[in-house]
């Protein structure tokens, strides 16, 4: 009897801990947790300065007042960034005219020339779609940390990173993250925001 009661008590406490630890069963991974967090409480991104594929400098705050979509890539990425680039091509073709796209490289080696490779491959043209690098290491780290983008080196000189399409609202807050394939979901969400 004592054993049964104690076992039930432990099971109840354990179940409660697991319920809490998975955001009520909605987040088994940190990726899911990050998306839930951001959707529940949009995050203001640090106002870092970028340089784009034409060499021009710009800041995140230049985009206030209009919807903005970000993605994080690197110029020599062989796989997931191609998917991300293709997703941006689709968004470029379907989003309203005032929406802007920025592909942000987290690779410090990506200079104007290398950013140009990525832009050329996907037909990115300013001002609609910028491919941007961040000069300052601290700025880059701060932006990645704020968006919870985790970049780890792979075994072949490249990087592995959590990929997504990042919707930034007109106030400059990161408000939602979508799967790279889910351009339609992003388009619908953006149309909903505009209403």
Partner 1 sequence: MRADRAIIGGAALLLLLALSPLGPLLESRLATHILGYYPLNVAGGAVIGARLAQGRGVPWTAAPALLMATLTLAFWALPRWIDASLADDSVHAARTANLALLAGLPLGWGWTQAGPILRGFFIANAAAMLAVMGWLMLAVPSRLCNTYLLSDQRQLGNGFLIVAAGLVAALLGQALIGSMREPGSRRQHACHLAE
**Interaction site with partner 1 (CB under 8 A):** 2-3, 6-7, 9-11, 14-15, 17-18, 21-22, 27-33, 150, 152, 154-155, 160, 162
**Shortest distance, position 15 Cβ to partner 1, whole Å:** 8
DSSP annotation of 128 reads T
Which residue, 13, 9, 32, 8, is CA-closest to 22? 32
Q: Give the residue with the Cβ less far from partner 1, 27 or 142.
A: 27
Q: Give the residue with the Cβ less far from partner 1, 28 or 188.
A: 28
* CA 50 remoteness from chain centre: 16
DSSP annotation of 156 reads T
**Shortest distance, position 151 Cβ to partner 1, whole Å:** 9
**Shortest distance, position 80 Cβ to partner 1, whole Å:** 10
Q: Give the residue with the Cβ less far from partner 1, 120 or 154.
A: 154
Which residue, 185, 181, 12, 193, is CA-closest to 84? 181
Cα angle 80, 106, 143 (rounded to 5 degrees) comes to: 115
Q: Give the residue with the Cβ less far from partner 1, 158 or 170.
A: 158
Q: Give the residue with the Cβ less far from partner 1, 19 or 61.
A: 19
Residue 12 backbone phi and psi in degrees, to 5: -65, -45
**Shortest distance, position 156 Cβ to partner 1, whole Å:** 11
Give the separation between CA 135 and CA 149, rounded to whole angstroms: 18
Give the separation between CA 112 and CA 64, rounded to whole angstroms: 24
Cα angle 143, 187, 43 (rounded to 5 degrees) comes to: 25
**Shortest distance, position 9 Cβ to partner 1, whole Å:** 7
């Amino acid at each position: 009897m004592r054993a049964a009661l104690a076992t039930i008590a432990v099971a109840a406490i354990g179940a409660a801990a697991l319920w809490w630890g998975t955001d009520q069963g909605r987040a088994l991974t940190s990726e899911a947790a990050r998306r839930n967090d951001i959707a529940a409480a949009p995050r203001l991104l640090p106002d870092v300065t970028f340089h784009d594929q034409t060499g021009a400098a710009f800041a995140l705050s230049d985009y206030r007042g209009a919807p903005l979509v970000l993605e994080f890539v690197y110029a020599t990425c062989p796989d997931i960034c191609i998917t991300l680039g293709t997703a941006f091509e689709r968004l470029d073709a379907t989003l309203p005219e005032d929406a802007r796209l920025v592909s942000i490289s987290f690779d410090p080696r990506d200079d104007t020339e290398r950013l140009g490779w990525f832009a050329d491959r996907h037909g990115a043209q300013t001002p609609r779609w910028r491919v941007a690098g961040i000069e300052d290491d601290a700025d880059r780290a701060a932006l990645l940390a704020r968006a919870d983008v985790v970049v780890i080196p792979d075994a072949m000189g490249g990087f592995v990173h959590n990929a997504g399409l990042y919707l930034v609202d007109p106030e400059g807050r990161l408000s939602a993250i979508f799967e790279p394939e889910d351009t339609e979901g992003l388009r619908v969400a953006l149309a909903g925001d505009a209403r």
